[in-house]
Chains A and B, each alone.
Chain A
Amino acid sequence: MGLGKIIGIAAILFAVILALAIWLFPWWVWVILIVLAVVFVAACFLFPPLGAAVVGLFGTAAELGTAAATTAARAGMMSRIFGGGAAPAAGGAPRPPRAFPWKIIVILLIITALVLGLWQGFAAWGRGLLVPLVIFAGAIIAGLILVKSPNVAGSIIAVIVILALEFGMLFFTSRLPFAALLTIFIVIMTILISFSIKPHHTGTGPRPGSTVGMLVLIANLAFFLLILGTDVHKGLVSPTSPVGKTIDSLRTTLLDAPTKFIAGIQAIISGTKAGIERQILIGTGDYETGVEAASTKQLGVFLDNVALTDTDVGPDGVIDMYGRLRVESFKTQIDGEPLLITLSCYEQTRNITGEIRPSAEYEVEEYENFDIDCLFKANDLGKGSHTLALDAQFDFTTSAYIKSYFMDQETVRALRRQQQEPLAAFDITDTSPTAVYTGGPMRIGMNTGQQPISIIPDRKDLAPTLALTLERNWLDGELVALKTIRITVPPGLGIKSISGRDISGNTCTATSTQERTCTLSGDFLRGIFSEQDLKRPFTTLRIATEILDHTRLLGGAPLAIRSFKTEIDYTFRIKKTQTVTVTA
């Protein structure tokens, strides 16, 4: 079976499904269609020439053109399936090929179009009468061309079949994820395939295959220019009908596509850049990893279900972008201040702000939800397509810890001399502890070097260095400010410097468990992190420690299990966008 036949069969199936889906009527319509189909099949069996004609149609729709002799022979052979009126003479030479019964097909097409058109016209009067009329007219024109010129008829049928297949696929994929990509893919593939189709050609007329691709291309250009550039389709199809909704969906998807495409490219570039930078830093030992702590909840501040009440708004209408603000946090008090979330919404290119209801600021408890609306006047935005953004800026805290093991250097050496791993001697299986951080917009990686950490009693300067990597965990947001970083080191240790800077200006206190916590102030952090640093996906700090009390650090035992802890308080901003069209 050639490509044309496959496309022909698939197209007819799609056309049937499309017809059923477009004219989505009550169940009894489906019953009638099924009954009609059964009656039709039965008629094919009872009336063999009809069956032969239908099979011939399936087999040769795309190749109809001038391959009449071959097709007719096949149709004659197939007609035997339906009762044998066209069976070749027994024992003799095959019958001379019979002309393809295109007249029957034309009649069938005209009758089908007439029935569908009238039925749709009567049943959905006022909801898009033009559609069935166009189909009806198109079918008649196609039929007439088919009757008059078989060569051109082959091309016309191939174009109809291909377009039916394409728009059927677009109809079903218009609501799927990545609809824009799928649409572009389907359109390009359809055009490429249509250019590659070469229907059989005999005689002296123009070769029909040369026109198929061009016709499909023109039809696609016309269709997309029509729906993207004008509102003509709204006069042809009711916006509430499935076809109308599909066209709207395609239009929104394609209008959003450039913005999303650019954003996607930017994300890929920044992701690749970050990945390369990360690999370089891993290679040089300046990037530390961590794993997110197991949590029953996903921590953070979220904008859920952001959408528009209507994607097409008239010039006097109000645009309502709504969503749900959801807060999942353990800690709602940062330095005694309540956790404050500030919302804003605006049109991206012209920076026109909308009005947030019920409030643009929220003081939240640990777990809370708020329904919010952002209202724009369509007049303020003006006619055309607009990208609207909803921002939530909030303060958040992310914590992390890493376990470490301390041993006296002599003990470590003695064990290694015995070909024994020091930690294995204490039944410790987690010999390379990984930092654990709490969920949220930022992640923290930590590392304290090879384990166990060897301590020399009379060398207070030979203390471990804690490497700390701060990395953006949510790619669709941005770090606005680093407010404080609290670093806690185990008992017996102190913090000497951070990335080479003396920490004397910051507060360091001892905790109840004899740990030492240093709080790095915003001013100190601004000296370390520039505005540019905050925009980078990650940055690494090196915290040099010193031994304050060797005995306390080792705890009077050959092995000490200790933890380094970090808390960062920061301001983060998340953003969600929607596209709206203000109509004339």
Chain B
Amino acid sequence: MRTFGCWLLIIGLLIGCTAPTTVPAPPDIAKGTDALTIDLRATNPELIMCQQTDLVATLRNLGTTNIERGLYTFIIEDQVLKPVTGTNRKKLFDLEGRSQYNPQGGIEQTTLKVKNTALPPQIETYQTPIILQACYQYETLASAPICIDPDVLGKNPAKPCTVAPVSVGGQGAPVAVTRIEPTMAPAGNDIRPTFTIYLQNLGSGRVVSAPDVESACTTTTTTLNPTVEIAAFLQNRPLRCTQREVRLEQGKEARIACESEQTYGPAQGTFSSILEVEITYGYINTASQSLTINRLPGQERCPP
């Protein structure tokens, strides 16, 4: 019994003396190319004629920007489905983005209660699409390490970094800076860092200019100009870009050239710095589902 107690003590000491577990690092939230994701479904996807069902949409903000005053709209076939009194097919919403304090991002569930009002005569089964469109303003914050090298002649063989294009992954937003090509442009004896910044919509939605975003979901007529506003900073100083707005076509890469207002001389040496890019835009996500409406034998019309 005593021997068993000794063994137990030794094992306990061994367990107690193991190295403490490392503190988990905070998750890298600035990843991925999603912003808002929509899960749309009907609680009863096989609706019986004249009955009602809930269209439930789960909105989840998987990007890093908070959505403020976003707007969603349910698009349904009014001739067969009618929103039940008290539920609105258009609504404003706010949704927190992913952060170190909320790594999952904000979630909101919204419901539109609809009722079938009629079916074409004699048709037993009718399928109608239900669509949810969400429009919101979003922002991409991208940062990339770049090398500032005034030694264009390569006199210093032991530089801490070299000037080379930088690839940037997803930044927790659908519009992403895909790569940056730095150029050290001579400016007298100094150099002026110039950057070609490449952008692309890598998300599943559509880009619209920030001022148009609300009308994209509310009005019938919209120009849907797919432009983004861009601003770049080097050492917290804004860069001078060729244009403020960039047109971002679906599936295509756009580019913009920005240069530093400040020049750098050989005395400052070669060093690494961070280039920060801010892109502001409107974004539209759409989700759709099909709802089946079945007529029971003998059903002709729905009561008013």
Are B125 and A558 closer than 8 Å at their CB atoms? no
A565 touching B117 in the complex, CB below 8 Å, given contacts A293-B125, A410-B223, A419-B250: no
Tally of chain B residues near chain A (CB < 8 A): 41
List B262-304 residues whose CB lies under 8 Å from chain A: 286-288, 298, 300, 304
Question: Is there a chain B Cβ closer than 8 Å to A391's Cβ?
Answer: no
A419 to B247, CA, bound (A): 13
Are B73 and A294 closer than 8 Å at their CB atoms? no
A410 to B223, CA, bound (A): 6
Question: Is there a chain A Cβ closer than 8 Å to B43's Cβ?
Answer: no
Question: Is there a chain A Cβ closer than 8 Å to B220's Cβ?
Answer: yes
A567 touching B121 in the complex, CB below 8 Å, given contacts A425-B206, A555-B78, A556-B218: yes
Are B117 and A558 closer than 8 Å at their CB atoms? no
Residue of B nearest to A401 (CB): B120
Are B249 and A414 closer than 8 Å at their CB atoms? no
Are B77 and A562 closer than 8 Å at their CB atoms? yes
Q: B228 → chain A, closest Cβ, in Å?
A: 13
A426: contacting residue among B120, B122, B131, B222, CB under 8 A: B131
B222: contacting residue among A294, A411, A515, A560, CB under 8 A: A411
Q: B39 → chain A, closest Cβ, in Å?
A: 13
Are B79 and A515 closer than 8 Å at their CB atoms? yes
Are A399 and B120 closer than 8 Å at their CB atoms? yes
CB contacts (< 8 Å) of A565 on chain B: these are 120-121
* 0 or 1 for each of B163-175: is its CB under 8 Å from A? (1 = yes): 0000000000000
B122: contacting residue among A331, A418, A457, A515, CB under 8 A: A331
Question: Is there a chain B Cβ closer than 8 Å to A532's Cβ?
Answer: no
Are B122 and A513 closer than 8 Å at their CB atoms? no
CB contacts (< 8 Å) of B288 on chain A: these are 426-428
Question: Is there a chain B Cβ closer than 8 Å to A415's Cβ?
Answer: yes
CB contacts (< 8 Å) of B52 on chain A: these are none
List A413-451 residues whose CB lies under 8 Å from chain B: 414-415, 418-420, 425-428, 430, 436, 438
Q: A478 → chain B, closest Cβ, in Å?
A: 22
A254 to B283, CA, bound (A): 76
Are B222 and A558 closer than 8 Å at their CB atoms? yes
A557 to B217, CA, bound (A): 7
Question: Is there a chain A Cβ closer than 8 Å to B3's Cβ?
Answer: no
Question: Is there a chain A Cβ closer than 8 Å to B44's Cβ?
Answer: no
A interface, how many residues as a size bin?
A: 35 or more
Are B124 and A513 closer than 8 Å at their CB atoms? no
Question: Is there a chain B Cβ closer than 8 Å to A59's Cβ?
Answer: no
A-B contact count (CB 8 A): 128
Q: A250 → chain B, closest Cβ, in Å?
A: 45
Residue of B nearest to A436 (CB): B123
Are B75 and A559 closer than 8 Å at their CB atoms? yes
Are B133 and A401 closer than 8 Å at their CB atoms? no
Which residue of A414, A430, A555 has the most chain B CB atoms within 10 A of its CB atom? A414
Are A419 and B251 closer than 8 Å at their CB atoms? yes
Are A427 and B131 closer than 8 Å at their CB atoms? yes
List B34-77 residues whose CB lies under 8 Å from chain A: 73, 75-77
CB contacts (< 8 Å) of B220 on chain A: these are 408, 411, 457, 550-551, 554, 556-558
Residue of B nearest to A438 (CB): B122
Are A457 and B129 closer than 8 Å at their CB atoms? no
Residue of A nearest to B121 (CB): A399
Are B117 and A513 closer than 8 Å at their CB atoms? yes
A418 touching B226 in the complex, CB below 8 Å, given contacts A426-B288, A491-B79, A513-B79: yes
Question: Is there a chain A Cβ closer than 8 Å to B221's Cβ?
Answer: yes
Are B133 and A558 closer than 8 Å at their CB atoms? yes
Residue of A nearest to B132 (CB): A427
B77: contacting residue among A400, A511, A561, CB under 8 A: A561
* 0 or 1 for each of A437-472: is its CB under 8 Å from B? (1 = yes): 010000000000000000001000000000000000
Which residue of B76, B120, B288 has the most chain A CB atoms within 10 A of its CB atom? B120
Q: B212 → chain A, closest Cβ, in Å?
A: 10
A97 to B295, CA, bound (A): 86
Residue of B nearest to A295 (CB): B124
B221: contacting residue among A419, A457, A560, CB under 8 A: A457
Q: B129 → chain A, closest Cβ, in Å?
A: 6
* 0 or 1 for each of B77-121: is its CB under 8 Å from A? (1 = yes): 111101000000000000000000000000000000000011011
Question: Is there a chain A Cβ closer than 8 Å to B232's Cβ?
Answer: no
A331 touching B121 in the complex, CB below 8 Å, given contacts A426-B131, A555-B78, A562-B79: yes
Q: A151 → chain B, closest Cβ, in Å?
A: 75
CB contacts (< 8 Å) of A408 on chain B: these are 220-222
A557 touching B73 in the complex, CB below 8 Å, given contacts A299-B122, A425-B206: yes
Question: Is there a chain A Cβ closer than 8 Å to B128's Cβ?
Answer: yes
CB contacts (< 8 Å) of B75 on chain A: these are 426, 555, 557-561
**Leading 10 A-B pairs by shortest Cβ distance:** A427-B288, A414-B224, A554-B220, A561-B77, A401-B120, A438-B122, A399-B121, A408-B221, A330-B122, A399-B122
User: Which residues from chain B sit less than 8 Å from chain A, CB to CB?
Assistant: 73, 75-80, 82, 117-118, 120-125, 128-129, 131, 133, 206, 216-226, 249-251, 286-288, 298, 300, 304
Known: A399-B122, A414-B223, A561-B76. 9 other contacts (CB 8 A): A294-B125, A403-B77, A411-B221, A411-B222, A414-B225, A513-B82, A550-B220, A560-B75, A561-B131
Q: Would you list 27 pairs from A and B whose C-beta atoms are within 8 A, ordered by A residue?
A: A294-B124, A366-B298, A398-B122, A399-B120, A399-B123, A401-B120, A411-B222, A411-B224, A418-B250, A419-B249, A419-B250, A420-B250, A426-B286, A427-B131, A427-B287, A427-B288, A428-B131, A430-B129, A438-B122, A457-B221, A556-B219, A557-B133, A558-B217, A561-B78, A561-B128, A561-B129, A562-B79
